[in-house]
Structure formats: structure tokens, C-alpha cells
Structure 1
Amino acid sequence: MKNSTISRSFMKYKFYFSIFFSMGLVSCVASDDWQTMPVVDNHSIVVHSNQGQTNDELNSLFSSVDIIPSHQYSLAELIDLSQSNNTELRSAWQQAKQAALASNAIKTTYIPNVSANIIGGYQKNDFDFTDSIHVNTRTKEIIPNLTLQWLIFDFGQRSDLLTSSDHLVSALKYNFNLTNQKFVYQVTLAYLNYNQAVKDLTLSEQGLSNTLVIQDSVKKKRVQGLATIVDVAQADQLVSQSKLDNVIAKNNKKNTYQQLLQAMGLSPLSKINIKTDSERKLPVSIAPVADQWIKAALISRPDILANYEVVKAKQANVNTAKKNYYPKVFVVANLSSSHSYWGAQSLPDLSQTSNGTNIFVGVHIPIYDGGARDIKVEQAKSQALESMEQFNNLKNNAANEIVIAINTLNSALESHQSALNLVKTANITYTASLSSYKQGLSTLTLVNESAKSLTYAKKIESQTYFASLIAASNLAFVLGFTINSDNILTVAN
């Protein structure tokens, strides 16, 4: 009989517990909004074998990527190769994911909170009444308890909290996009600087070749008695200067290559073939700034969109703080069961089973808190106003950045056109002076100066060419565009 009573008690407890647990399980289905966040479009690259490195310990400190030794990587492929391993991108993604999970946590406050407790105990006592009379007692008790707490009405405070949280999630999504754009922009700049270093090395080798031609002509004239020792010394000096420039250009190429690896987040010991691009035809100029450019940037730049979401979140926080003045309605339910057993020496065992069920509806009414709620409301209002000021300031700065970027690009394009003309005239002068010198119609000084002028003109042309590409990249970045090798100058056209 005792065992039957205990069994019925626990069956009843399990039945109610199953009901409450099923309600909570159905209501607690969390949103997976974070899975819909923007992700980087990483195209797969066919891999063969990774180049062996002599310093495995150093390589282990960096994200491992598979590099095809025989393949020449374009800018888009370099970005794709390193994008998924960028630590800043992964960090920004985790921040956005954490914000989404925090938003889901707020959603769980709409459903009941069910908890179960089981308390059990055993007690044994020995009593000595006389030297010959001893009594032993034993007591056992088990008390299972199931409690439900549910905030059913709060005048929309949780809704305001959820609205604020959702805006923060959106802000961090845009921040992830901004981090991605910054990464692409940094790799693009490093790639262009490396391209310029390669072009400068080529120009320095051409300049060295020109000075060697001059030196050879001077030596031939010296053999014929038509050149002086001073002429030979000047030619040798020009060759030495060209060799020095060539050494500097080689070192600059190595340094910009390492800077590109650093921007990509690769090991400094990585060996990768880079496809250079220095023959792109540039436009003469671009159209002046227009209102639609600025308007397009204000609705596409991720930093502006993220800041706008922060403003909306702060405004929702004001409503949340105001709801602290209103009462809250809640429900509390409790289901409990207890079973007690008492036994004594030489006496029949006694047991008792009891069940209890109760449900309460309560109202929490805030009356006085010394002005704490007023302070919270004023703090929320101040933060909302501050975020709005920051948003307006960001928009003004964005408009100025666009105007400056357009002016910079136009200036670079105009400079490049002038440099092209300079190279053309300098090349004519050098060719004519060298031919005249060989025929004995001009001096070596004129030839040396024309060679220096030609080398200088080509360097200026290279600098203005890549300055135009960098300026175009900067304009695309301030307009909120993602840069790649195909559309780097689309905005310029």
C-alpha cells in the first residue's frame, strides 16, 4: 500500500512536469537570425601543394593558406585567398553573432520560466531512556516541487528592449561589412604599391640600360680621341647613380611585397606569384561631384547605416526606460508533492503523502525609488541625442570625404596626362641628343641631362598612374563600394 501511494505521487508529479516542460519547449524555439548575416563571398581556389618553408614555427603563427606556386594571383584572387582567414573579419562576425544571440535571449522573456526542485532527507535518532531501554527512530522525506513564473504584461517594455537589440544586431552586421570593405581596401592599396614598386624597378633597369649605352659611346669616342677623361668620368658617374637607383628599387619591391603579405595576413615567409597590372588606360578626368553621389553614399556606406541603427537603438532605450514607471503583471504557479516515512523500534511504520497546487496572479507597482527612474530616462534621452549628433556629424564628414576624394582623383588624372606628355617630349630629347652626340654635334652634358630627364619623367608617369588608381580606390571606398580588380576604376569612368 505504501509503495502504491509513492508511485501514484511520482506519476502525478511527472505528468504535470511533462506538461509544463512541453509548453516551455514549444515556446523556447529561438530565432536563428544570426545565420542570415552577410558573409564574405569566398570563391574556392584549386589547390595543389603548399610551398615548404624553412621556418615552420613562424608559419604556425599565421593562418595557413594553400598557394599554387605556378599560378599568378590577381588582386581579386589575393583578396579571396586571405579573406576567410582575416582575424578582424572573424572578430566582427563573432560580435554580430553575439548580438543576435542577445536578441534571442530577450525573446525568451516572453515565455514562462519553469523550474523543478527535489528535496529529500533521511534522519536517524537513538534515545536512551534507561540503562535497559533504547529506542531507535528513522525518518525519510521526499518533496518534489515544480514552479512556473510568467511575466504576462509589462506595457511593452520587453518589446522596446527587443527593438533596441535588433537595431544593435543590424548595426553590427553593417560593421561586419565595413570591416570587410576596410580589409579589401587595405589589400588593394598594398597591391597597388607593390605594382608601383615593380614598375619603378623596370624603369630603373631601363634607365641603367640607357646610361650603359651612353657610357659605351663615350668609351668609343675616347678610343678615337674625341672624348676627354672628364667625359668618361661623367658617364661612369651616371652609370653608378643608375645602379644605386636600381638597388633602391629592388629593395622597395621587396618591402612592398612584405607589406602586401602583411595586409593579407599571410606569413612573411610566404612565396606567391603576383600578377601585376600597370598598362590600364586611364580616363582624362571624371565628372564633378553631384548630389546623387553623396545621396548614394549616405544610403550605402556601412558606417553610416550602422550609426543610424545605433540611433534607433538609443531611441528605443528611451521608451524602455519610461516603461519602468508602469506596473507589471505576472503569474506564479506551484505544484508540489511530499512523502514522509517514520519508523521506530518495535513499532509499526508510519507514512504520509500530501499534494499541493496553487496559482497566483500578481501586480508589481513601482511607487517610489528616490528618482532612480527619472535619472535613467534622462540618461537614455542624453545618449539618444548624442548618437543623433554623431550621426549628423558622420554624414557631414562623409560628404566632405566624397568631395575631397573626387578632387584628388581628378588632380591625379590630370597629373598623369601631363606626365605622359612629359615622357613623350623627354624621350624625343634624349633620342635626339644621343644621336647628335654620336655624330659629334652635341656635348655629353646635354646627353646626361636628357637621360636624367627621361628617367625622371618615366618615374613621374608611374607615380601619377598609381596615384590615380589609389585615388579611384579611395573614392570607391568613401562611396561605400567594395573594390576589386574589375571595377577599381569603374567609378572613375
Structure 2
Amino acid sequence: MSRRPTKRVRGILTAMAMCLAAFDACGEEAAPLRAHCMEASSTPHGGYDLPRLLDIAQCLSPETREAWEHTRQAELAVDVVRSSYAPQVSLEAVGGFQRTPLPIPTNLISRGYFTSDTREFIPSLSVKWLLFDFGRRAGVEATARANHAAAEVAYNGVQQRLVFSVTRAYFDYQSSREQLLAADEAVKAAQTIQDATEAQRRNGRATVVAAAQAERQTAMSRLNQVKANGAVRTAYASLIAAIGLSADTQLTVSETKDQALPALPAESIDHYVQKALAGRPDVRAAEEKVKAAEGEVQSAHAAYRPIVSFAGNYYQNIGALSTDGSPYYSINKPGGAVFLNFELPLFDGGSRSAHLSIAQSQVQAAEDQLEHVRDGVAQEVVKAYNDLRTSREAYTEAQAYSHAASVAYEAALDAYQHGVGTYTDLANDEALMAQSQAALASASADAQIAWVGLALATGDIHVTP
């Protein structure tokens, strides 16, 4: 049984998926797209929402662009290996002059030698083709393909981590703004209590001490308001940094009003763990590294087997020959050669054995790394799963706490204004109401972050429409 995400959450994750797909274009045309993302005049109506901020972050992140280039390099490495299966054809040419003294019997020439002058220009077409290597290239190709697959999933992992980082900073910023609103409400409530206390004192129903305490409560509320303002500025700076913008960038970030919260996990922890082990980028990358190491072993084994290759050459001999100053005799005739080469290494001083041992050790290391990654993934999923349950349940309780605190404050204020309540009760209820509103704002952000955290932990930080 699968859980259907809420409309708000589906919108966020759909935007994430669109950003991940759209970054391919950013890798091809990074400069124009970055300029498009950063147009000062393109601020959307109502400010930047999370999908728009994710779009900007994808275009600006140097880590994502670096991962993209690593993926391209790995893909080109596969093409290099594949090219080794094709014949290598080259056009060559050599030309020059050579004077060569050569021996000759003295009964022909008394001095016992003659001098040959040669002028030659020989263009040629050469073909080399490795026909059989009994697994060498196959192992290299398997390694290259595995490294390419690992680079691709690592690229996806970098994108997912960036999406999570920006999303977390976004909801932290929204939480700080909501806590500032709660602080503003606390100041208003404290001022209301102070006004009521002053009125009670004028009517002889409150002491000077109570009036001073009310004034103190208002001052404390204003101090908390200043701190909440500072927290908003800090959260905004963190959001800007997560996106990759300069610290002095001014963006209008849209507010998240009445957004739906994610529901409790609908499946068991084991379901999410298995999903993560099957699809998480770091797990898949570790699996591909094992395959890459196995390809090295295959190549190392193949080094003990023979190599069969073909070589051919077709040339045109354009030259002239002169002997002891005689007139030049010229030639302009084609020639050629065809060879089938067989090579079997017999002794190399232990080089092949050492390479094989290294490759086998790399396989073991890659398998150990894979096991380590799987253990870490399982732990992360369990933590993310529990964090989501805890934060969602905490939000439910925070709602009840906020409602009860507001009702209690209103009742205490009414009683105090009618002279049947004490200032101490009213001040306590006001403080608890402010605390409950801040707790509700924090619980809302925690639930959103925990839901995306579970998506990141399972490698499912996208949604299929």
C-alpha cells in the first residue's frame, strides 16, 4: 500500500524533479542559464517560492557542475575503450636524403667500397588491428562502464543533497519568520496586560509591584522580538548561502501559508530501508565500484593469455639512387606488407601476478566499502523515519498546546480585567501562549524537513507525476 503525498508536498518534490532534469541544460549552457536565473527584474509575483529557489541553486552550484563534468569524463572514457575494438588506420609519409658507403670486392672496385646516394619520399597507409586479446579489453570496458554508472548516480546524489540543503534552509527560514510573528504577538499581549494592569492600578485593584512586573514583561517580550528578528536574518543568510548566492543578495522569499503537512509514514521501516538499499545513489555507486574492480581482475587474468593482432602497410616508393656520382636512377612503384602477429608473454618478473593481487584486493576493498555504505544507509533511514514520526506527532501536540494556551490566556485576561484574576496567573498564561506559538512554528518546519529528509535517506527525492 503506497501513500499519496499531500498536494503541497507533491508540488515541492515535483519541482525538485524538474530541477534535477533541467540541470542537464545548465551543464550544456551554464552561462546563459545562470544569467537567466539571476535576472534582477525576474522576481516573481509574491516572491521566490521553493521550486524557484531550487532552480537557481541547481544553476549556481559548482559542486553539481563538477559532478556533471565527472559524468561526462566517465562517459568519454567508455568511448575510448570501445575505440580499441576498431582497426587503427593512419596515413604516414617519410622523405629524405641518405649517403651510404657500402663494401664491395676489390676485384670489382680497387678501393673496396662504393658510395650510394638515395633520395626517397614514401607515403604509406598503415592498418593495425588487435583481433583477439582474450578478455583484456572486455575487462577494461567493464571497468569503464561501471565507473560511468557510478559517476551518474553520484551526480544524482550531489543534486539530491543540494535539494535537501536548500529545502532545509528554506523551511528553517520560514520557521524563523513564523517565530518572529509569534514574538510580535507576544509583545502585543504583554502590552495589553500592561495596559490592563495600569487600568487596574488606577482603580485601586493592582499594586505598584504588579504594574512594574507588567512593564518588565513587556520589555522582556520586546527583547525576545529583537532576538527573533536576528534569527530571521541568520536563517536568511543560511538560505542564501545554501542557494549559492552572494551574502549581500536581497531576495523576496514567498511565505508558506496554510501549507499541508506530510502524513505519518504509511509503510514499515523495513520497507523504506529496502527501498534505500535498492535505489540510493551512494549504494548504487558503491555497487558499481565493485563491478569496476571486478573488471580490473578480468583484465589482470587476461594478461596471462596470448594476443593476436593484424598489421598491414601499403606504400608508394618514390625515389632515386646514384652510385659514386653516377646519374640518378629513379623509381615510383607501390609496395606493401601484411603480418599476423602472435604474442604470448612467458616471464615478466612477477608483474602480472602483482597486478592480479592488487586487482583482487581492490575487489575486496570495494565490497567492504559497499557493506559499510549499506549499514550507514540503514541507520540513516531509521533515523529519518523516526524523525518524521516524532516531528509529525510533535506538531499534532503543538497544535493542541497552542490552542489550549490561547484559550487559557484569553480566559485569564478576561478574568483579570474583571478583577477576579491575579496578575501572576495572567503573566504565566501569556508566557505559555508565546511559547506554544513558537513551538508550533518550529514543529511545522521540523515536520517538513523530516519528510524531505526521509525522501533523501531513501533516495526518493523526486516524485513521478
> Aligning the two structures, in what range does the TM-score lie when normalised by the shorter sequence?
0.7 to 0.9
Q: Is the 8 A contact 2:19 2:54 kept in 1?
A: no
Q: 1:274 to 1:430 in 2, by over 3 A?
A: same
Question: Deviation string for 1:201-242 (max 9, x for gaps)?
Answer: 110100111011111112223333433322222111111111
Q: Does 1:232 align with 2:211?
A: yes
Corresponding residue for residue 436 of structure 1: 415
Corresponding residue for residue 31 of structure 2: none
Q: 1:442 to 1:427 in 2, by over 3 A?
A: same
Q: Does 1:69 align with 2:48?
A: no
Question: Deviation string for 1:35-83 (max 9, x for gaps)?
Answer: xxx9932399xxxxxxxxxxxxxxxx99962252352222122212331
SS at match of 1:84: helix
Letter in 1 for 2:137: R
Distance 1:346 1:87 in 2: 71
Q: Is the 8 A contact 1:62 1:267 kept in 2?
A: no
Q: 1:447 to 1:322 in 2, by over 3 A?
A: same
Question: Deviation string for 1:241-299 (max 9, x for gaps)?
Answer: 11111111111112211211111112323332222225334467444624332222222
Corresponding residue for residue 86 of structure 1: 61
SS at match of 1:360: strand
Match of 1:401 among 372, 380, 384: 380
Corresponding residue for residue 310 of structure 1: 289
Give the CA deviation at 1:420.
Answer: 1.8
SS at match of 2:52: helix
How many residue pairs match? The answer is 421
Corresponding residue for residue 7 of structure 1: none
Corresponding residue for residue 136 of structure 2: 157
Match of 1:193 among 172, 177, 193: 172
Distance 1:309 1:406 in 2: 27
SS at match of 2:127: strand
Q: Is the 8 A contact 1:294 1:402 kept in 2?
A: yes
Q: Is the 8 A contact 2:269 2:382 kept in 1?
A: no
Q: Does 1:120 align with 2:68?
A: no
Structure 2 length-normalised TM = 0.83
Structure 1 length-normalised TM = 0.79
Distance 1:319 1:123 in 2: 49
Give the CA deviation at 1:155.
Answer: 0.7
When structure 1 is superposed on structure 2, of 264-273 and 323-332 the one drifting more is: 264-273
Q: Does 1:260 align with 2:260?
A: no
Identical aligned residues as a percent = 28
Distance 1:335 1:140 in 2: 20
Match of 2:316 among 318, 337, 340: 337
Q: 1:368 to 1:139 in 2, by over 3 A?
A: closer
Distance 1:176 1:326 in 2: 37
When structure 1 is superposed on structure 2, of 316-325 and 454-463 the one drifting more is: 454-463
Letter in 2 for 1:376: H
Q: 1:345 to 1:402 in 2, by over 3 A?
A: closer
Give the CA deviation at 1:424.
Answer: 2.0
Q: 1:296 to 1:323 in 2, by over 3 A?
A: same
Q: Does 1:465 align with 2:447?
A: no
Q: Is the 8 A contact 1:62 1:265 kept in 2?
A: no
Letter in 2 for 1:248: K
Corresponding residue for residue 222 of structure 1: 201
Q: 1:176 to 1:346 in 2, by over 3 A?
A: closer
Question: Deviation string for 1:118-139 (max 9, x for gaps)?
Answer: 2223589xxxxxxxxxxxx997
CA RMSD, Structure 1 to Structure 2 (Å): 2.9
When structure 1 is superposed on structure 2, of 399-408 and 189-198 the one drifting more is: 399-408
Letter in 1 for 2:187: L
- Unpaired segments ≥5 residues, structure 1: 1-37, 45-60, 125-136, 488-493
Q: Does 1:110 align with 2:85?
A: yes
Distance 1:39 1:330 in 2: 49
Letter in 1 for 2:71: A
SS at match of 1:115: strand
Distance 2:53 2:139 in 1: 44
Greater length-normalized contact order (CA 8 Å, ≥ 6 residues apart):
2
- How does 1:298-447 map onto structure 2 within 5 Å? 298-341=277-320, 350-447=329-426
